[in-house]
Structure 1
Amino acid sequence: MKIEQIYTGCLAQGAYYITSDGEAAIIDPLREISPYLDRLNRDFVKLKYIFETHFHADFVSGHLDLSKKSGAPIVFGPSAKPDFEAIIATDEQIFEIGKIKIKVLHTPGHTLESSTYLLIDENGKETAIFSGDTLFLGDVGRPDLAQKVGHLTQEDLAGILYDSLQTKIMPLADDIIVYPAHGAGSACGKNMQKETVDTLGNQKKTNYALNQPNKEAFVEAVLDGLSAPPKYFGMNVAMNKGGYESFENVMNKGNTALSADNFETAAEETGAVILDTRNAAEFQKSYIPNAINIGLKGDFAPWVGAMIADVKQPILLITEIGEEEEAITRLSRVGFDGVVGYLDGGFETWKNSGKEEDEINRISAEEFNEEFNENSIVIDVRKPAEYEAEHVDEAYSKPLDAIADWAGTLDDTKHFYIHCAGGYRSMIAASILNARGIRNFSEIEGGFKAIAETGKVPVSNFVCQSKTLK
Structure 2
Amino acid sequence: MQIDIIETTGLGDRSYLVSAGGVGVVIDPQRDIDRVLALAEKRSVRIALVAESHLHNDYLTGGLELSRTVGADYAVPAGDAVDYERTPAADGDVFEAGPMRLRVMHTPGHTHHHVSYVLADADGAVQAVFTGGSMLYGATGRTDLVGPEHTDELTHAQYHSVRRLVDELPAGTPVFPSHGFGSFCAATPTSGDSSTVGEQARVNPALTQGEQAFVDELIAGLTAVPAWYAHMGPANAAGPAPVDLSEPRPVDPAELADRLAAGEWVLDLRSRTAFAHRHLPGALNFELAIANFVTYVGWLIPWGAPITLIGETEQQVAEARRELVRIGIDRLAGAAIGSPEALAAGRELASYPVSDFSGLAAAMAADPDLVVLDARRADERAGGGVRGSLHIPIHDLPGRLDEVPSGDVWVYCGSGYRAAIAASMLARAGGRPVLIDGGYGDPDTGATAAGLHTDSAAG
Same fold (TM over 0.5): yes
Q: Which residue of structure 2 lines up, in the alignment, with residue 458 of structure 1?
A: 452
Q: Is the 8 A contact 2:13 2:181 kept in 1?
A: no
Q: Which residue, 253, 263, 269 being the options, matches 1:260?
A: 253
Compute the displacement of 1:346 (Å). Answer: 4.5
Is 1:393 aligned to residue 387 of structure 2? yes
> Which segment is superposed worse, 340-349 or 193-202?
340-349
Rounded to whole Å, the distance in 1 between the matches of 2:157 and 2:117 is 18
Rounded to whole Å, the distance in 1 between the matches of 2:259 and 2:426 is 23
Rounded to whole Å, the distance in 1 between the matches of 2:287 and 2:54 is 30
Q: Which residue of structure 2 lines up, in the alignment, with residue 445 of structure 1?
A: 437
Rounded to whole Å, the distance in 2 between the matches of 1:144 and 1:160 is 12
Deviations 1:349-384 (CA, angstroms, capped at 9, x unpaired): 313x11343323433444323211343332222234
Compute the displacement of 1:166 (Å). Answer: 3.1
Rounded to whole Å, the distance in 2 between the matches of 1:320 and 1:239 is 32
Where 1:173 maps in the other structure, the secondary structure is: coil
Q: Which residue of structure 2 lines up, in the alignment, with residue 225 of structure 1?
A: 221
Rounded to whole Å, the distance in 2 between the matches of 1:195 and 1:104 is 26
Q: 1:136 to 1:456 in 2, by over 3 A?
A: closer
Q: Which residue of structure 2 lines up, in the alignment, with residue 242 of structure 1?
A: 238
Deviations 1:91-135 (CA, angstroms, capped at 9, x unpaired): 110011211200111111211121101111243212211100111
Percent identity over the alignment is 28
Where 2:386 maps in the other structure, the secondary structure is: coil
Q: Which residue, 299, 307, 310 being the options, matches 1:315?
A: 307
Q: Which residue of structure 1 lines up, in the alignment, with residue 426 of structure 2?
A: 433
Rounded to whole Å, the distance in 2 between the matches of 1:137 and 1:94 is 25
Q: Which residue of structure 1 lines up, in the alignment, with residue 210 of structure 2?
A: 213
Is 1:296 aligned to residue 288 of structure 2? yes
Q: Which residue, 316, 320, 323 being the options, matches 1:327?
A: 320
Q: 1:54 to 1:317 in 2, by over 3 A?
A: same
> Which segment is superposed worse, 77-86 or 391-400?
391-400
TM-score by length of structure 1 reads 0.89
Q: 1:88 to 1:454 in 2, by over 3 A?
A: closer
Q: 1:441 to 1:43 in 2, by over 3 A?
A: closer
Q: Is the 8 A contact 2:312 2:337 kept in 1?
A: no
Q: Is the 8 A contact 2:438 2:446 kept in 1?
A: no
Q: Which residue of structure 1 lines up, in the alignment, with residue 42 of structure 2?
A: 42
Rounded to whole Å, the distance in 2 between the matches of 1:267 and 1:379 is 25
Q: 1:19 to 1:283 in 2, by over 3 A?
A: same
Q: Which residue of structure 2 lines up, in the alignment, with residue 282 of structure 1?
A: 274
Q: Which residue of structure 1 lines up, in the alignment, with residue 8 of structure 2?
A: 8
Q: 1:454 to 1:424 in 2, by over 3 A?
A: same
Q: Is the 8 A contact 2:260 2:282 kept in 1?
A: no
Is 1:350 aligned to residue 347 of structure 2? no
Rounded to whole Å, the distance in 2 between the matches of 1:306 and 1:207 is 29
Q: Which residue of structure 2 lines up, in the alignment, with residue 83 of structure 1?
A: 83
Q: 1:420 to 1:96 in 2, by over 3 A?
A: same
> What is the letter of the counterpart of residue 343 of structure 1?
A
Q: Is the 8 A contact 2:260 2:281 kept in 1?
A: no
Q: Is the 8 A contact 1:382 1:420 kept in 2?
A: yes
Q: 1:344 to 1:455 in 2, by over 3 A?
A: closer
Compute the displacement of 1:345 (Å). Answer: 2.8
> What is the letter of the counterpart of residue 188 of structure 2?
N
Q: Which residue, 190, 195, 202 being the options, matches 1:193?
A: 190
Is 1:368 aligned to residue 364 of structure 2? no
Q: Is the 8 A contact 1:100 1:122 kept in 2?
A: yes
Rounded to whole Å, the distance in 2 between the matches of 1:233 and 1:456 is 37
Compute the displacement of 1:456 (Å). Answer: 4.2
Compute the displacement of 1:265 (Å). Answer: 4.8
Q: Is the 8 A contact 2:166 2:201 kept in 1?
A: no
Where 1:138 maps in the other structure, the secondary structure is: coil
Q: Is the 8 A contact 1:415 1:440 kept in 2?
A: yes
Rounded to whole Å, the distance in 1 between the matches of 2:383 and 2:100 is 47
Where 2:453 maps in the other structure, the secondary structure is: coil
Compute the displacement of 1:211 (Å). Answer: 1.8
Rounded to whole Å, the distance in 2 between the matches of 1:279 and 1:264 is 21
Rounded to whole Å, the distance in 1 between the matches of 2:400 and 2:139 is 30
> What is the letter of the counterpart of residue 218 of structure 1?
F
Where 2:102 maps in the other structure, the secondary structure is: strand
> What is the letter of the counterpart of residue 224 of structure 2?
A
Deviations 1:219-269 (CA, angstroms, capped at 9, x unpaired): 212211212211100112222111233213xx22x4322221233456679
Q: Is the 8 A contact 1:180 1:196 kept in 2?
A: no
Rounded to whole Å, the distance in 2 between the matches of 1:7 and 1:221 is 29
Q: CA RMSD in A?
A: 2.4
Rounded to whole Å, the distance in 1 between the matches of 2:10 and 2:230 is 19
TM-score by length of structure 2 reads 0.91
Where 2:7 maps in the other structure, the secondary structure is: strand
Rounded to whole Å, the distance in 2 between the matches of 1:194 and 1:281 is 31
Q: Which residue of structure 2 lines up, in the alignment, with residue 421 of structure 1?
A: 414
